[in-house]
Amino acid sequence: MATSMAQAINQALADALAEDDRVLVFGEDVGTLGGVFRITDGLAAKYGERRCFDTPLAESGIVGMAVGMAMQGMRPVVEMQFDAFAYPAFEQIVSHVAKMRNRTRGKVSLPMVIRAPYGGGIGGVEHHSDSSEAYYAHTAGLTVVAPATVADAYSLLRAAVAWPDPVIFLEPKRLYWSKDEVSLPVHAEPIGRAVVRRVGADATLVAYGPSVQIALAAAEAAREEGWDLEVVDVRSIVPLDEETLVASVRKTGRAVVVAEAPGFASVASEIAALLSERCFHALEAPVLRVTGFDIPYPSPKLEHHHLPDVERVLDAVAALQWEDA
């Protein structure tokens, strides 16, 4: 049956609540309202307000409370209402969430999940459309995942709730209403594994989260130009599946990394550097990036200029020195 990403995440939370009494879901408006995007719809009614409940508008307090709960053996799943709303909690995340295991020499772990609707494409203003993955990926001690499919939204979230350490779970809000023929529950590849979504021979497009659909669309459009493009879905930003990425690029000899976030000091930059180092002798051209621009997130009327699209990806592919082939 056709299932949306929003439904898959809702079902993953419901199944986690049903199977483990230690799991709690809380955040701003996640209870009676069911969240801004209705991701937690029905959970409070089914599992009670002690298991799924609203909090004050205080992100630092939300995460701080989750830290204390996780230290006592519970498994809190907290929602940051929008990506950039998490910034008031950033000190908690960097100073405590990410460091507790190391600080206690492994005696105290924090099995908690911080969910954040992230990325653009919905006509939201600033603070509602950030791609903030680089902040978390740069912070040692955090696991960072970004699903791009309905199946991964369910499977990765279930894996994140069971993970022994804190997970930043980035939900591409523009994909909430995307649908696929998926029968839940579904178990996909684990955290730490990338997936080849489309097999190709001429160049590799590397993407994650909302950019995977753009990469797949570009790969289809590239057929008219005579290019056979492979698409690799990163899925897990930290830990990163370097072997799958490297194997693909060593096979094709060319690579373009596609991501919504600004390109400077980004996850896309790290992946490009990794591929340049480990695939140097196989590369036929420099690894290129197609990213958002290095600006604050633009107004809704301008975001389509800011976000990578098929045309920009194909322009990058065209620049991969094919004349030398």
The rounded radius of gyration (Å) of the Cα atoms in the chain is: 20
Q: Among 38, 18, 314, which Cα is nearest to 176's?
A: 38
The DSSP line for 110-173 is ---EEEEEE-SSS---TTSS---HHHHHTSTT-EEE---SHHHHHHHHHHHHH-SS-EEEEEEG
Place of tokens 């897990």: 236
**H helices of the chain, where?**
5-19, 43-47, 59-71, 90-92, 100-103, 133-137, 150-162, 211-222, 242-252, 267-278, 303-306, 310-318
Q: Is 128 a catalytic residue?
A: yes
Nearest to 287 by CA among 298, 276, 274, 279: 276
Identified catalytic residue from 127, 128, 138, 306: 128
**Which residues have a Cβ under 8 Å from the Cβ of 185 and sit 6 or more positions away?**
11, 15, 154, 158
DSSP 8-state code for residue 3: E
Token output for 227:
């290019």
The pair of three-digit structure tokens given for residue 321, joined into one six-digit string: 């020195």
DSSP 8-state assignment for residue 284: S
Residue 8, class by beta-carbon neighbours within 10 Å (0-12 exposed, 13-18 middle, 19+ buried)?
A: buried
* N-term to C-term CA, the chain: 45
Report the 10 Å Cβ neighbour count for 71: 16
Contact 171, 119 (CB under 8 A): no
DSSP bridge pairs for 249: none
Tell me which residues are annotated as active site: 128
